Structure formats: structure tokens, C-alpha cells
């Protein structure tokens, strides 16, 4: 429990920390990797670090957690989601209704902790590294705040850190318990038994255990981390959604990120490695299945599954589950792809929907990039109606990109429907807003983010979001 003097330390320093949060996060990671270069090489995503995504995410998370504690305990504050949406320097705002605020704050705080716990569980972050983190965070705060880093302020931030650490450690342990695993049972070796290049640039792998004990069973919607050794010896980790296959097999598909030279973005490290170097008979390391957004634990409401690009993978996993376990479920699948040539797993998608008597499939080929749809529509994210004809001049592909979007007005949607979204973040933000306008309650619209989640799916983009890897989907 945070004491009132610690709370005072947090509250009085929050505006200055908010102003300097980005610098604190950048300095923190520099100090951390200065002492432990192996963490950058073997645990953190080097591309996300190089682009400053993880630094930004840490800065926003620290502020959001502090605002929640200050807000919950003194009756003012912003929810985690709102705090994450706000710019790092946004001041703490008063709540109109403390009771509602405190409920929303707690719900949002739970969501943040659960998301971070899943991220950490997927990497195998154990309790041992927290002291190292605390030391470098404290040094980075002290350097940024100078004389304002008083004993009272330091004590407040230390208490917040320890509270977050305890919540994360117990949530990670809970993730492992749910998977029937002990902490430390994290990485396994998996053998590649099939490999196929799908569509233009998707590499599909089938994995089985490389030893006598089968890979753990997974639930539809879950993902696992795959760790590979790159040419320079780094052991980089990425997550991939798990989907159907015979028992004891995992199937994953990775879209190869070719890079965007005009934006200075190099090719994705792991996806290109999977394409160029991973063959049948090779072994990769895999984490346990992770992820609490699974279709089997929810009600039996009619479903709408909306995907774009490689966002098809969790949808295929859910359809495979429904075809085996709940084939009578009413399911509408909407899939967006740039061109038919890029449409990976189309035959699998069609076969799975055909196996559901009440399944419907609609595919839209946008012809331009999916980012075009996203870019064109960010203007109207907050109030987007149906996914209507976009302003093509705003398209990342330039004027003339042709889009053929599915009009949600023609899709059967009721407040009872449950929707799962997966695709580029701006795409999901637009579709989510449109679904809500069409009467689907916000809490029944779920989404999978294929990378650091900066909260912009559920809120209007503040312009802080940088181009995400999956915008290339």
C-alpha cells in the first residue's frame, strides 16, 4: 500500500516526470543495455528499440500507472487508457464522478497489467531481473529530475515500482499456472516438420516438439514466441498466432517484412530469417502458448471476425476451433487484403467457413496498401461511420489508390454480436469505431495487436503512434 507521503512525492513530481518521461525512458534503456547488452541482443526487439517504440511505450506506461495511483487514491486522475492516449505532458485532469472514475481506473489498470504480464510471460521474464531494472530506472529519474529528485519523490516512485513489480510477477505466475506450467518452464525446442511459402511473402511452418514430450495444447486466439539465432549470433524473439493442425502440432505463419526504404525502415529481422534460413528439420525455440483473448472462454454469441493481411492468423485459429467444437455457431468473416496474390491461406479460410453451416465469408481486395485505408481514414477515426470510400489523396500509396471496402451497413450486426479484430492498428481503430456506430457495444469488440500496443485502437490516434511493422500487412 502506498503511503500518503509517497503519494505526495508522486503527485508533486508527476508534471515534471511527464515532461521528461521520454528522456527518462531513453536514458533508462541506454543504462540497462550498457550493463547488459545481452538483453538487447537476446530478449528485446532490436527493431522496436531502434525506432524508439519500446521507449515510448515505457514512458506512457509509467505515467499511466502513476496517474492511476494518484487518481484512485485522491479522487482525481485519468484512466490508464486515457493516460496512455494522452500526450506525455498532459496534466492530470479531474473526474466528474469519482465512483465511476475509480471503477474505470481499476478496470484499465487491470487491463494494462494483464497486457504487460502476457508480454513478459511470452519472453520468459522472471522475478530476478527486477532489481536491475529498479537500479537503472532510479538512476535515469535522478539524472532527469536533478534537484527535484528529493527523498520523498524517490520514495514515491520506488513504491509505485514495487507495487507494479509485485502485480506483474504474480500475473506472470498466473499466466503460467493457467497453462499448467511452472515459472521457468518457459522455452522448449520445436522441430520444423513442414514449410511452405504462401501467397507472395508469407512463410508457413508446422512445428512439433523436438523431444518426447508434446508441445503444450493451446486455445484458439493464443500465440507463442519463437526465438531464432540470427547471422550475428543475436537470439531475437517474436510472437506468432497459433492455429489448427493435427494434435500436438503448432502451425504458424509469418508475413515477411520487406522494409520501407523511403521511410528508412530495414527489412524485419525474424520474418526474413524464417523465410531465408529456417527449413524442414531445423529446430527453433518456442515459449508456452500465451494470450487471454480466446474464443472458447466467452459466451456463445454470434461472431463477426474481421481481419486484414496477416491478421488472418488468429481468425483461422478461431475458425478451426469452431469447426471442430461449435460448428453451429453463427459466424461472419470479413477479410481485407491488398490483392488476391497477397492473400495467404485463402483456400484454408474458405474451407473452414464452408465447414460452418451458419458461416459467411466476405473478402475485400483493396488493391492499394492496407495502410492506404488506414491513412485515408485516420482523419475521421473518432466519428467514422461505415468504412466508406476514403479520401484517396490521403493514401500512403498516393492519389489513385483504389479501395473496395466492405460496407458495414450491409453486414448483419446487433448489440448481441461479439467481434474480433486483427490487422494494422489504424485499420482496427477505424473498423472498431464503425462497429460501435453500428450498435455493437464497445466491450464486445475485441482486438489483437501484433506488436507494442500504444492504445490507439480504442482511442483516437494522438499522432504519437509511429508507423508500425504490421502497417505493412
Nearest approach, Cβ of residue 372 and ligand FAD (Å): 17
- The residue among 123 and 434 lying less far from ligand HEM, judged by its C-beta, is 123
Determine which residue in the list 40, 123, 323, 431 makes contact with ligand HEM, applying CB under 6 A: 123
C-alpha span between 129 and 134 (Å, rounded): 9
Asked if 257 interacts with ligand FAD (CB under 6 A), we say yes
113 binds, among ligand HEM, ligand FAD, none (CB under 5 to 8 A by kind): none
User: How many C-beta atoms surround the C-beta of residue 446 within 10 A?
Assistant: 15
Residues 6+ apart with CB under 8 A from 177: none
Positive or negative CA dihedral for 413, 414, 417, 419? positive
Nearest approach, Cβ of residue 220 and ligand FAD (Å): 13
C-alpha span between 186 and 287 (Å, rounded): 6
Per-residue DSSP letters for 22-83? HHHHHHHHHHHHHH-HHHHHHTS-HHHHHTTHHHHHHHHHHHHHHHHHHHHHHSB---HHHH
Determine which residue in the list 168, 310, 373, 431 makes contact with ligand FAD, applying CB under 6 A: 310
Asked if 266 interacts with ligand FAD (CB under 6 A), we say yes
Please identify, among the stretches 155-163, 267-275, 345-353, 364-372, the one whose residues bind ligand FAD according to the rule CB under 6 A.
Answer: 267-275
Asked if 31 interacts with ligand HEM (CB under 6 A), we say no
> How many chain residues bind ligand HEM (CB under 6 A)?
23
- The residue among 220 and 254 lying less far from ligand FAD, judged by its C-beta, is 254
How many angstroms separate the first and last alpha carbons of the chain? 44
Look at strands 283-286 and 188-198 and give their pairing. antiparallel
Asked if 221 interacts with ligand FAD (CB under 6 A), we say no
- The residue among 239 and 369 lying less far from ligand HEM, judged by its C-beta, is 239
Asked if 51 interacts with ligand FAD (CB under 6 A), we say yes
Determine which residue in the list 72, 79, 239, 374 makes contact with ligand FAD, applying CB under 6 A: 239
b/e sequence 210-232, b meaning 16+ C-beta within 10 Å: beeeebbebbbbbbbbbbbeeee
Nearest approach, Cβ of residue 162 and ligand HEM (Å): 8
Determine which residue in the list 47, 359, 368, 423 makes contact with ligand FAD, applying CB under 6 A: 47
- Among 433, 430, 454, CA closest to 84: 454
Please identify, among the stretches 35-43, 263-271, 298-306, 399-407, the one whose residues bind ligand FAD according to the rule CB under 6 A.
Answer: 263-271
Q: Where are the alpha helices (DSSP H) in 86-198?
A: 98-123, 130-145, 151-178
Determine which residue in the list 129, 152, 185, 282 makes contact with ligand HEM, applying CB under 6 A: 129
Asked if 259 interacts with ligand FAD (CB under 6 A), we say yes
Residue 448, SS3 per DSSP: strand
Please identify, among the stretches 16-24, 94-102, 159-167, 275-283, the one whose residues bind ligand HEM according to the rule CB under 6 A.
Answer: 159-167
Asked if 43 interacts with ligand HEM (CB under 6 A), we say yes
61 alpha carbon, distance to own chain's centre: 14
Determine which residue in the list 374, 426, 450, 458 makes contact with ligand FAD, applying CB under 6 A: 450
Binding to ligand FAD (CB under 6 A): which residues in 272-301? 272
Asked if 255 interacts with ligand FAD (CB under 6 A), we say yes
Asked if 50 interacts with ligand FAD (CB under 6 A), we say yes
Inter-residue long-range contacts of 57-62, CB under 8 Å, 24+ positions, other chains counted? 57/452, 57/454, 58/25, 58/28, 58/29, 59/21, 59/22, 59/24, 59/25, 59/88, 60/21, 60/84, 60/88, 60/454, 60/455, 61/112, 61/116, 62/17, 62/21, 62/24, 62/25
Give the footprint of ligand HEM on this chain (CB under 6 A).
Answer: 39, 43-45, 48, 54, 57-58, 61, 116, 119-120, 123, 125, 129-130, 133, 161, 164-165, 168, 452-453
Amino acid at each position: 500500500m502506498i503511503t500518503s507521503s509517497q503519494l505526495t512525492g508522486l503527485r508533486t513530481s508527476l508534471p515534471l516526470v511527464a515532461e521528461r518521461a521520454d528522456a527518462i525512458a531513453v536514458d533508462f534503456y541506454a543504462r540497462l543495455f550498457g550493463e547488459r547488452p545481452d538483453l538487447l541482443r537476446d530478449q528485446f526487439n532490436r527493431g522496436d528499440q531502434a525506432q524508439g517504440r519500446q521507449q515510448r511505450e515505457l514512458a506512457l506506461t509509467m505515467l499511466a500507472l502513476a496517474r492511476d495511483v494518484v487518481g484512485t487514491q485522491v479522487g482525481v486522475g485519468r484512466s490508464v487508457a486515457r493516460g496512455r492516449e494522452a500526450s506525455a505532458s498532459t496534466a492530470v485532469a479531474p473526474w466528474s464522478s469519482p465512483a465511476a472514475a475509480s471503477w474505470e481506473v481499476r478496470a484499465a489498470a487491470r487491463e494494462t497489467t494483464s497486457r504487460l504480464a502476457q508480454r513478459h510471460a511470452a519472453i520468459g521474464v522472471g522475478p530476478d531481473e527486477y532489481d536491475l531494472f529498479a537500479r537503472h530506472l532510479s538512476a535515469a529519474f535522478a539524472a532527469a529530475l536533478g534537484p527535484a529528485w528529493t527523498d520523498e519523490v524517490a520514495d514515491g516512485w520506488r513504491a509505485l515500482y514495487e507495487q507494479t513489480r509485485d502485480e506483474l510477477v504474480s500475473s506472470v505466475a498466473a499466466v503460467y499456472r493457467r497453462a499448467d506450467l511452472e515459472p521457468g518452464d518457459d522455452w522448449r525446442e520445436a522441430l520444423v516438420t513442414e514449410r511452405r511459402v504462401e501467397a507472395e511473402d508469407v512463410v508457413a511452418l508446422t512445428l512439433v516438439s523436438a523431444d518426447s514430450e508434446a508441445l503444450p495444447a493451446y486455445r484458439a486466439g493464443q500465440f507463442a514466441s519463437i526465438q531464432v539465432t540470427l547471422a550475428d549470433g543475436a537470439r531475437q524473439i517474436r510472437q506468432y498466432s497459433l492455429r489448427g493442425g493435427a494434435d500436438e502440432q503448432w502451425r504458424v505463419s509469418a508475413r515477411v517484412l520487406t522494409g520501407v526504404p523511403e521511410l528508412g525502415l530495414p527489412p524485419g529481422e525474424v520474418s526474413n530469417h524464417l523465410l531465408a534460413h529456417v527449413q524442414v528439420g531445423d529446430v527453433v525455440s518456442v515459449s508456452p502458448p500465451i494470450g487471454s483473448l480466446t474464443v472458447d472462454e466467452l459466451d456463445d454469441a454470434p461472431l463477426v471476425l474481421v481481419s486484414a493481411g496477416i491478421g488472418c492468423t488468429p481468425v483461422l485459429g478461431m475458425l478451426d476451433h469452431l469447426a471442430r467444437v461449435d460448428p453451429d455457431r453463427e459466424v461472419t468473416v470479413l477479410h481485407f487484403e491488398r490483392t488476391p496474390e497477397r492473400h495467404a491461406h485463402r483456400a484454408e479460410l474458405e474451407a473452414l467457413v464452408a465447414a460452418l453451416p451458419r458461416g459467411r465469408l466476405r473478402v475485400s481486395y483493396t488493391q492499394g496498401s492496407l495502410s492506404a485505408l488506414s491513412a485515408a481514414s485516420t482523419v475521421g477515426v473518432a466519428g467514422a461511420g461505415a468504412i466508406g470510400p476514403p479520401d484517396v489523396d490521403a493514401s500512403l500509396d498516393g492519389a489513385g489508390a483504389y479501395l473496395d471496402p466492405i460496407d458495414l451497413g450491409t453486414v448483419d450486426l446487433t448489440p448481441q454480436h461479439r467481434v474480433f479484430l486483427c490487422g494494422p492498428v489504424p485499420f482496427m481503430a477505424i473498423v472498431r469505431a464503425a462497429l460501435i456506430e453500428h450498435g455493437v457495444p464497445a466491450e464486445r469488440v475485441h482486438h489483437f495487436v501484433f506488436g507494442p500496443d500504444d492504445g490507439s485502437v480504442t482511442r483516437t490516434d494522438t499522432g504519437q503512434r509511429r508507423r508500425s511493422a504490421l502497417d505493412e500487412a
